Amino acid sequence: MSWLHRDLETMDPSIFMQYSPPTAGLPQESKLATYMNHTTSTPTRSLNQALGKLSLESSPTAIRKVVITEFVPMNYYSQPVPCQSILPESPESSSPSTLSAVPNTSQVHQENVGGTTYFYSTNSDSLNTSGALNSSASIGAAEACLSGQVGAASPYATQIYSGTPTHMGPMTSKAGLAASFYMPETIRSEIYQRIDDVYLQPDLRQYPDLPENVEMYSELTPLEGIAPHSIATSYRAIHRQTGEHYALRRLHSYSPSVTKRLEMWKQIDHPNIVKLHDWFTTKAFGDHSMVLVYNYHPACVTLMNKFLCGGPGNNVSDSNGAFHDPFSSDPDAPRPYTHQKNAMLRAVACGALLPEAVLWSLLVQLTAALRAIHTAGLACRGLDPTKVIMNGCRVRIAWSGVIDVLHTNANDVAQAQQDDLTALGRLALSLACRTIHCDNLAASMELISRTYSADLKNLILYLLSTSTARRSVTDLMPMIGARFYTQVEALERRADVFEDQLAREIDNGRLLRILIKLGAINERPELNLDPSWSETGDRYMLKLFRDYLFHSVTADGRPWLDQAHLAHCLNQLDGGTSEKVELMSRDEQSVLVVSYAELKHCLEQAFDEVMQAAAGGP
């Protein structure tokens, strides 16, 4: 830095280029000359204006000293240039409409060293004060979306990544920066599974008998793997207008007369109950079917499939809950001898019993669902492991209201609610023993008392009790006790992880938007019939920046790839900071020293042009 300043003061004035007219000293074939000649509507017009104003006497003292190094990638961490954001002083100053009103007093000094021309912005604060440069300007809705900016830019916008909040503890799954940029594997695979489920469509030609459209729904695919039964069939379908997925439950040859309860079910909106959206009757299937429309939850499995019949980690039983003997010559032969007890003991021996915390989590969620249903004056009528679905840690009661449609004369809601509690007890018992064959209550309870806490045993006994005393779902709360808090804490921790991931993805989104803009501008063959558009004016700076970003090489000519450097530069650009960057022309004859604020403005101007051209239509 100091050598440059010293040299500038002692340098022969003849080595400086001519200042007026501004581009007189530039080789006209240089792309930089076209940049210097470009329209005066951008902040870089100040380059031209300032060049005219500069004098030899005044420039050296006004020069902001910039280190000029060899054109090898810089270690940006050690750059002494302060990393200031251009946060506007007041919210008003960030308004896009202030863009043209902001005076731009930037001045540029140019210098030729050894045949290479360097251009410096001499007023580091000029662009720094321009909050407007940070705004997405007056571009259309799509650009507003691409700009991804809501309100004023924050100093945070210039950071690579805010870091893991201390309450999250250290990220141990992946080392270094990778941990900051990528999600933990569990979340990723859970989300990929759901995305796969939604987007990997089965071939619809497999189902030639299914109607193409049923009311507003199309692309029906059966949800069951096995042949549909005669009373009801489940499908996944897409709403033709919104493109959203729904789960349809078709009741064959059924036309109900009473739908009051369905209207009540439609009102229930609970995180542990699959929401009923709509219902209609249709002849699309060749009969008088009734179709109930529910939210579709991707990658769901029933509790039956997950825990009770050969789901992951439970390969010891078949779909009937019959355990197999892996040591038998015929491992598929069910063993009739003390079958239930065998099954349970085998589950214990295989370590297949569920941890108690998992059982409580399921019970808390299911009692919450029942509470909502009973409070609404309804009953679940048919809570069984094939009708409770699960994805991630969430369980939901599926196909709510179907039984109400099938049995319209079942009016004793109070009794049905008692039956719900008994069904929940049976479900808890099955989950605890990991078999649906729990008819031998004594043997099952013996296993439970040996394996689990007395609280769990008492809860199940209460739910299964046949006493005449009326039971209520609210009575379960004291039995759940402090485990409820454990569940809340677990959910809050999960929310912490998701919030942390969300923060990272917001950062990734910002960088993607910047890359999209750069990609739309760089190397564009022509714009508005101008084949040199992407190579001239502001776009030339962006081209050089793209080269700097992606095509830097080491001193011995190898590609220099450093994701952290890339992310840093893109963040500086997004933040429009006053940090300077050296851009070199491909012929290595010119070096441009520009701030990210200038680059950002160039980017927004150029992208605005592309957007306007796109909006102009053919």
Q: Which is nearer to ligand ATP, 249 or 546 (CB)?
A: 249
Q: Which is nearer to ligand ATP, 296 or 533 (CB)?
A: 296
Using CB under 6 A as the binding rule, whether residue 89 contacts ligand ATP is answered as: no
Distance from CA of residue 384 to its chain's centroid? 33
Which of the stretches 39-47, 229-237, 359-367, 434-442 binds ligand ATP when contact is defined by CB under 6 A? 229-237
Shortest Å, Cβ 221 to ligand ATP: 11
Closest CA to 422 of 477, 489, 370, 492: 370
Using CB under 6 A as the binding rule, whether residue 247 contacts ligand ATP is answered as: yes
Which of the stretches 333-341, 384-392, 439-447, 506-514 binds ligand ATP when contact is defined by CB under 6 A? 384-392
CB 20 within 8 A of CB 52: yes
Shortest Å, Cβ 386 to ligand ATP: 5
CA–CA distance, 566 with 160 (Å, rounded to integer): 10
Measured in degrees and rounded to the nearest 5, phi and psi for residue 389 equal -110, 160
Q: Which is nearer to ligand ATP, 210 or 584 (CB)?
A: 210
CB atoms within 10 A of CB 137: 20
Retrieve residue 68's tokens. Answer: 């000029």
Shortest Å, Cβ 409 to ligand ATP: 21
341 labelled as ligand-binding?
Answer: no
Retrieve residue 532's tokens. Answer: 């040199």
98 labelled as ligand-binding?
Answer: no
| Ordered DSSP codes for 433-477 | HTSS----HHHHHHHHHHHS-HHHHHHHHHHH---SSPP-GGGHH
Q: Which is nearer to ligand ATP, 398 or 592 (CB)?
A: 398
Shortest Å, Cβ 456 to ligand ATP: 26
CA–CA distance, 381 with 92 (Å, rounded to integer): 59
Using CB under 6 A as the binding rule, whether residue 268 contacts ligand ATP is answered as: no
Count of residues of this chain found to bind ligand ATP when the rule CB under 6 A is applied: 19
Residue 142: C-alpha distances to residues 146, 153, 614 (Å): 6, 18, 11
Shortest Å, Cβ 387 to ligand ATP: 6
CB-side neighbour CA atoms (13 Å) of 3 = 4
CA–CA distance, 603 with 44 (Å, rounded to integer): 12
Closest CA to 151 of 96, 84, 86: 96
Measured in degrees and rounded to the nearest 5, phi and psi for residue 214 equal -125, 110
Using CB under 6 A as the binding rule, whether residue 119 contacts ligand ATP is answered as: no
Using CB under 6 A as the binding rule, whether residue 223 contacts ligand ATP is answered as: yes
Using CB under 6 A as the binding rule, whether residue 265 contacts ligand ATP is answered as: no
SS3 state at 108: strand
Using CB under 6 A as the binding rule, whether residue 389 contacts ligand ATP is answered as: yes
483 labelled as ligand-binding?
Answer: no
Question: Which run of H or E residues covers position 265?
Answer: helix 260-267
Shortest Å, Cβ 415 to ligand ATP: 23
Output Rg (C-alpha) for the chain, integer angstroms.
34
Using CB under 6 A as the binding rule, whether residue 398 contacts ligand ATP is answered as: yes
Using CB under 6 A as the binding rule, whether residue 248 contacts ligand ATP is answered as: no
CB 366 within 8 A of CB 272: yes
Q: Which is nearer to ligand ATP, 49 or 386 (CB)?
A: 386
**Binding to ligand ATP in span 278-337, by CB under 6 A:** 294-297, 300-302
Using CB under 6 A as the binding rule, whether residue 234 contacts ligand ATP is answered as: yes
Whose structure tokens read 């489920």?
197
Binding ligand ATP by CB under 6 A: which of 176, 199, 208, 229?
229
Binding ligand ATP by CB under 6 A: which of 47, 220, 273, 274?
274
Q: Which is nearer to ligand ATP, 92 or 224 (CB)?
A: 224
Shortest Å, Cβ 323 to ligand ATP: 20
| Ordered DSSP codes for 378-440 | -------TTSEEEETTEEEE-STTHHHHHTTT---HHHHHHHHHHHHHHHHHHHHHTSS----
Shortest Å, Cβ 293 to ligand ATP: 10
Shortest Å, Cβ 295 to ligand ATP: 6
Q: Which is nearer to ligand ATP, 297 or 437 (CB)?
A: 297
CB atoms within 10 A of CB 491: 14
Which of the stretches 51-59, 227-235, 328-336, 547-555 binds ligand ATP when contact is defined by CB under 6 A? 227-235
Using CB under 6 A as the binding rule, whether residue 167 contacts ligand ATP is answered as: no
Which of the stretches 383-391, 413-421, 430-438, 549-557 binds ligand ATP when contact is defined by CB under 6 A? 383-391
∠ at Cα 387 (382, 391), nearest 5°?
A: 150
Measured in degrees and rounded to the nearest 5, phi and psi for residue 232 equal -145, 150
Shortest Å, Cβ 340 to ligand ATP: 23
Which residues does the annotation place in the binding site? 249, 386-387
- The site for ligand ATP (CB under 6 A) is made up of 223-224, 229, 232, 234, 247, 274, 294-297, 300-302, 386-387, 389, 398-399
Known binding-site residue numbers for ATP: 249, 386-387
